Chain A
Amino acid sequence: MTRFVSRATCAFVLIPILATLVAATSVDFSQGPWGGGVTLDWFAYAWPPLAPVIGRSLAVAAIVVALNLLLGGPLAWWVARHPSPLTRLTGYLVNVPLAVPGIALSVALVGTYPMLRPSGLLLVMGHLVFTLPFTLAALTPALADTELRTNESVARSLGAGPLRVLRTITVPACLVAVTQAVTMVFALSFGEFNVSFFINPPATSTAPFALFDSYSTQRLESASAQSAIFIAFVVPVLTAVVLARRRAPRRTP
């Protein structure tokens, strides 16, 4: 029974993706699956304009990941090592973008900082505050681990400097959590649409907006090819997310 439901759920997720592939390889999808024959022309047609946009999305995601580690790492360390009412309040504030719907946050950001929109800075900042809760959720439990703290204090008492402790003890112990945070943040930023809606620089937009545009202006076959290309970029990142999660000693929500 449970096996049947699991298989059916997997099919529920997979079928639309396969259907999109069928549409993307049909000459004329309105005549049915592979109507008018099978072709890869839609992919050839979709790729050249999509390539620079995907490149931009990958760059934004990479910057957002770097900022997450740079800012979120020390924040998680503080929350994990110095628990107080202040860190609990911080926890609530960090999670604001989880409670406030993306489109509402987008309205708030563009209403407050319209001048930061054209440069793309507002987009990066929007993605950053939207993804920080995930970094914090992954890193804080790993940094709070008592065994890690014991190892660190042993290393320190043996005379290792703070940088050496960080490099040889803390970072290796948190590697799985860091991988989890990095992959999840990358995937979320790459596919982000709601928060980005009003804050993406109109002239140089990201991949989800190219898709959204083609959904309303292009043929179903071409839009399907673009969607399939986008999904092809998401799947490896997501596989990394899952592999990191499977290696984690504890499951984080």
Chain B
Amino acid sequence: MPVRAPARGRAVPGPAWLAALPALIVIGLFSVHPVMVMVAGSLGVGRPPADEGLTLDHYTRAFGSETVRSALLDSVLIAGGSVLLVLLVAVPVVLRQADDDRHGRGGVATDVLLTLPIALPGIIIGFFAIVLTGRTGLLGLAWGGFSGLAYTFSGLLVAYMYFSLPRVLGPLRGAAATLDPALTESARTLGASRTRVFTTVTLPLLLPALIETSGTAIAVALGGYGTVATLSEGVRLLPLNVANELTTGYRLADSSALAVILAVTAVLALVLGRALSRLVRRAVAA
């Protein structure tokens, strides 16, 4: 037996990475390479007809434009604001879900409902905003202030909350499931109030996950194009500018520069979330 085992191991045809090769080729060709071509194009080093030599012109033009600057600012505010607002409701929701899961109670319907927005394209979420708070929206009948809200900053904020909700709940739920219920129970029996247990035990333990999830969700919301595309007559966000450069006159290099700015902002949110989360995790553990 001990002699046979290594012989069998050697009988495996070819090195293991060969199995991964087709996927790696596809990722290289259709993900990594196009992104690099886009970055090069935004720097003026496009394919031969569009090659203008290395230049930062497209970036100076982008940052020099008032509409681009305000779109970038609004994008950051909408993405950041919607995720932070979602966190406020997400924490109680995942704590309830974790509790339900532990007691085997949670219903499938609730679960489906809270996950559903992840499979809805952003355009439908924008459309929801129109149905409820557009000019002839349903909520407008209850109170006139709701009519036309879809096209304002606050309307967009609520629409992006809908978009971000499942993207925050999903990862946070995993973190809440790992919380040890014995910790909160013993704090309670030692006489701490519910609020005190929440602020001194539950919240610090959840905090690293909260921060990391926020970073990821903000990155995704920054790129959320569909919602704002449906509501495009209102507040303008950066993804709209990216698309406009191509739909109105195919200015690939300008569009690429804006896309790179958008991507860098998203990556920044992602990296910042990870780094802060690691820092806080260390602080909580200490």
**B195 → chain A closest CB, angstroms:** 10
**A239 → chain B closest CB, angstroms:** 5
From B222, which residue of chain A is reached at the shortest CB distance? Answer: A101
**A2 → chain B closest CB, angstroms:** 4
Contact check, B93 vs A9: say whether CB atoms are below 8 A apart: yes
A81–B20 CA distance with the chains assembled, in angstroms? 12
Q: Which residues of the other chain, A, contact B136 by a CB distance below 8 angstroms?
A: 29-30, 220
Q: Which residues of the other chain, B, contact A230 by a CB distance below 8 angstroms?
A: 124
B80 within 8 Å of A by Cβ? Answer: no
Contact check, B111 vs A242: say whether CB atoms are below 8 A apart: yes
A175 within 8 Å of B by Cβ? Answer: no
Q: Which residues of the other chain, A, contact B125 by a CB distance below 8 angstroms?
A: 16
Contact check, A23 vs B138: say whether CB atoms are below 8 A apart: yes
A229–B149 CA distance with the chains assembled, in angstroms? 26
From B108, which residue of chain A is reached at the shortest CB distance? Answer: A242
Q: Which residues of the other chain, B, contact A30 by a CB distance below 8 angstroms?
A: 136
The interface residues of chain A, by DSSP majority, are classed as helix
Among the 9-residue stretches B61-69, B126-134, B184-192, the one with 4 or more Cβ atoms under 8 Å from chain A is: B126-134
A198–B124 CA distance with the chains assembled, in angstroms? 19
Contact check, B108 vs A224: say whether CB atoms are below 8 A apart: no
From B169, which residue of chain A is reached at the shortest CB distance? Answer: A9
Contact check, B23 vs A253: say whether CB atoms are below 8 A apart: no
What class of interface size applies to chain B in its complex with A? Answer: 35 or more
Contact check, B259 vs A101: say whether CB atoms are below 8 A apart: yes
Which of A112, A190, A227, A252 has most chain B Cβ within 10 Å? A112
Q: Which residues of the other chain, A, contact B31 by a CB distance below 8 angstroms?
A: 93, 96-97, 105, 129
A171 within 8 Å of B by Cβ? Answer: no
Q: Which residues of the other chain, B, contact A20 by a CB distance below 8 angstroms?
A: 127-128, 131
User: With A126-B30, A231-B124 known to touch, is A197 a contact of B225 (CB < 8 Å)?
Assistant: yes
Contact check, B131 vs A129: say whether CB atoms are below 8 A apart: no
A237 within 8 Å of B by Cβ? Answer: yes
Mark interface residues in A234-253 (1 if CB within 8 Å of B CB, else 0): 11011101110010000111
A203 within 8 Å of B by Cβ? Answer: no
Mark interface residues in B184-209 (1 if CB within 8 Å of A CB, else 0): 00000000000000000000000000
Contact check, B246 vs A198: say whether CB atoms are below 8 A apart: yes
The total of chain A residues at the interface (CB under 8 A) is: 92
**A113 → chain B closest CB, angstroms:** 7
- Give residues 1-32 of B contacting A (CB, 8 Å): 1, 4-5, 8, 12, 16-17, 19-20, 22-24, 26-32
- Give residues 180-237 of B contacting A (CB, 8 Å): 219-220, 222-226, 229-230
User: With A29-B136, A109-B34 known to touch, is A208 a contact of B123 (CB < 8 Å)?
Assistant: yes
**A122 → chain B closest CB, angstroms:** 8
Show 6 residue pairs from A and B whose CB-CB distance is below 8 angstroms, ordered by the A residue: A5-B96, A19-B138, A103-B242, A193-B226, A197-B225, A241-B119
Q: Which residues of A line the B interface, CB within 8 A?
A: 1-3, 5-6, 8-10, 12-17, 19-20, 22-23, 29-30, 32-33, 70-72, 74-75, 77-79, 81-82, 86, 90, 93-94, 96-105, 107-113, 125-126, 128-129, 132, 156-157, 162, 187-188, 190-194, 197-198, 208, 211-212, 215, 220, 223-224, 227, 230-231, 234-235, 237-239, 241-243, 246, 251-253
